[in-house]
């Protein structure tokens, strides 16, 4: 270091004026001092030796690598056959673990990127209000219970008006596996998402068949969305969006939940136009499905007539692709049994029966579990069945809802160890439960 040169550099600093602001002085002297110091002791880039380990290279892999090298050195020293076999086994195990770690890390990165894209895509769909309003599947703030409450409420209103309503539950075979990539990318481009991000997510996928140790050649996929991905339900909703417009074009209402499609048409009991309108709507839906590479299965499609007892025999049945759809006494919609009078007696009886069966099995675990663990099991297997779509029980006769109340009271007595004749109200307060009936 040259002290005289450093002093000369400091002497070249500009003088301070009385009126100069403090911030300007600090900035000027900071830059001039840095320049003077760099002339005396210039900065030199420091190169780091060694290789930064990959993020997927864990300590376990490092230990396996060291063990592989030790066994390899041992074999090269002894030239023994047993040492050679151990060395080759260690090499194979290390190579397999290395491939598995790389694959797991790449899958992790893929999931992170999918979540980022899904968050941006969901925000775009919410801001533009693009999705069909009758679509309740895989949307924030929507659920199967909300879809069923809206559906049953519409059916009950039409029943109070004296109308006849035909509820058609369409069955789509392998809906997620038959989505055409070209049509989906066209829809994405039409809504302003024509980039290559989602296209790269769909392209380059293949499938193969494995039987024992034999695998077929990979076959490229031009249809289907990868199930298990966070993006696949959102892409399916975008793909299916025009279907609701097709149905409502005939004055028919609908409710959609992912691939579950339910359409219903209300009309006066003696209407002569209703058969023609509903058949035309079903024909248009079938044609739309065919154009969009979706397969509608008429043999598994169900129809429920919701009406008063005096109007049950309407004298005609809907037709779908030449197949006459018979009227069912009850159908299962999103896990709930609906009948012609919307009494929900079959649904309540089925829920109560399954809940009592699960409670009977849980009794066998009582000697082996603590009370907190037993409470968790009861919530998971028993009360969860009572909670699902319990909003549909509003307005039902007390004799129907009592079956569910009996299940809840039995579960409360079981958890508290009370006698089977004990009143359930104090037990509910102890467990912080709300009764189903008041």
Q: Distance between CA atoms of 424 and 381, rounded to whole angstroms?
A: 20
| Contact present, 102 and 108 (Cβ < 8 Å) | no
Q: What is the pLDDT of residue 312?
A: 79
Q: For the chain, state the CA radius of gyration.
A: 35
Element holding 170 (H helix, E strand): strand 164-170
Q: Which residues, 6 or more positions from 205, have their beta carbon under 8 angstroms from its beta carbon?
A: 220, 221, 226
Of 124, 106, 135, the residue nearest 242 (C-alpha): 135
Task: State the Cα angle at 14 between 9 and 20, rounded to 5°.
Answer: 150
Q: What is the dihedral of CA 30, 33, 34, 36, to 10 degrees?
A: 160
Of 178, 282, 286, the residue nearest 236 (C-alpha): 178
Of 331, 301, 326, the residue nearest 314 (C-alpha): 326
Please tell me the pTM assigned to this model.
0.75
The domain ranges of the chain are 3-40, 59-119, 132-172+231-338, 181-222, 345-431
Of 226, 228, 237, the residue nearest 138 (C-alpha): 237
Q: Distance between CA atoms of 282 and 243, rounded to whole angstroms?
A: 11
Tokens representing residue 196 in the block = 């290559």
Q: What is the pLDDT of residue 6?
A: 63
CA torsion through residues 138, 287, 325, 300, sign: negative
DSSP calls for 196-225: SHHHHHHTT-EE--EETTEEPPPEE--B--
Q: Which residues, 6 or more positions from 171, have their beta carbon under 8 angstroms from its beta carbon?
A: 296, 297, 300, 301, 302
| Helical segments of 191-338, H only | 197-202, 232-248, 274-291
| Contact present, 137 and 260 (Cβ < 8 Å) | yes
Assigned CATH topology for domain 132-172+231-338: Alpha-Beta Plaits (3.30.70)
Q: Which of helix, strand or coil describes residue 164?
A: strand
pLDDT digit of tens for each residue in the chain (438 aa)? Answer: 566 666 666 666 666 565 667 677 667 767 777 777 776 666 666 665 656 677 778 888 889 989 999 998 988 888 888 888 999 999 999 999 989 988 888 888 888 888 888 888 888 888 888 888 888 888 888 889 999 999 999 999 999 999 999 999 998 888 888 889 999 999 998 888 877 888 888 888 888 888 888 889 888 888 888 777 888 888 989 999 999 999 999 999 999 988 889 999 999 988 888 889 999 999 999 999 999 999 888 888 999 999 998 887 777 789 888 888 989 989 999 999 999 999 999 999 999 999 999 999 999 998 899 989 999 999 999 999 999 999 999 889 999 999 999 999 999 999 998 988 899 899 999 999 988 876
Q: Max Cα separation, the chain?
A: 113
């Amino acid at each position: 270091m040259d002290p005289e040169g450093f002093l000369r550099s400091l002497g070249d600093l500009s003088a301070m004026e009385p009126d100069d602001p403090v911030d300007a002085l600090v900035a000027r002297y900071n830059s001039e001092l840095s320049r003077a110091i760099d002339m005396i002791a210039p900065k030199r880039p420091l190169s780091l030796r060694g290789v930064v380990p990959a993020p997927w290279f864990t300590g376990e892999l490092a230990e396996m690598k060291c063990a592989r090298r030790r066994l390899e050195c041992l074999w090269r020293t002894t030239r023994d056959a047993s040492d050679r076999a151990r060395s080759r086994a260690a090499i194979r195990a290390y190579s397999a673990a290395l491939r598995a770690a790389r694959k797991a890390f790449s899958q992790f990165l893929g999931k992170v990127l999918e979540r980022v894209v899904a968050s941006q895509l969901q925000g775009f769909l919410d801001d533009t209000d693009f999705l069909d309003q009758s679509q309740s599947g895989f949307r924030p703030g929507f659920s199967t219970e909300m879809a069923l409450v809206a559906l049953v409420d519409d059916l009950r209103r039409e029943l109070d008006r004296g109308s006849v309503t035909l509820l058609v539950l369409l069955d789509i075979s392998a809906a997620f596996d038959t989505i055409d990539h070209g049509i989906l990318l066209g829809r994405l481009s039409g809504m302003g998402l024509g980039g290559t991000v989602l296209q790269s997510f769909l392209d380059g996928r293949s499938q193969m068949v494995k039987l024992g140790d034999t695998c077929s050649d990979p076959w490229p996929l031009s249809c289907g969305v990868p199930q298990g991905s966070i993006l696949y339900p959102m892409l399916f909703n975008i793909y299916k969006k025009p279907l609701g417009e097709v149905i409502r074009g005939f004055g028919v209402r609908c409710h959609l939940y992912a691939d579950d499609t339910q359409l219903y048409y209300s009309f006066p009991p003696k209407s002569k136009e209703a058969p023609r309108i509903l058949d035309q709507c079903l024909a248009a839906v079938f044609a739309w499905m065919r154009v969009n590479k979706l397969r509608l299965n008429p043999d598994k499609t169900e129809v429920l007539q919701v009406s008063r007892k005096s109007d049950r025999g309407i004298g005609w049945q809907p037709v779908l692709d030449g197949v006459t759809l018979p009227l069912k006494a009850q159908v299962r919609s999103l896990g709930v049994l609906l009948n012609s009078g919307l009494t929900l007696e079959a649904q309540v009886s089925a829920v109560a029966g399954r809940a009592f069966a699960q409670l009977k099995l849980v009794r066998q675990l009582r000697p082996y579990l603590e009370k907190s663990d037993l409470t968790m099991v009861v919530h998971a297997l028993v009360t969860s069945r009572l909670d699902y779509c319990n909003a549909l029980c509003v307005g039902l006769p007390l004799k129907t809802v009592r079956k569910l109340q009996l299940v809840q009271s039995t579960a409360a007595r079981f958890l508290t160890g009370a006698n089977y004749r004990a009143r359930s109200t104090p037990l509910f307060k102890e467990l912080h439960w709300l009764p189903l009936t008041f």
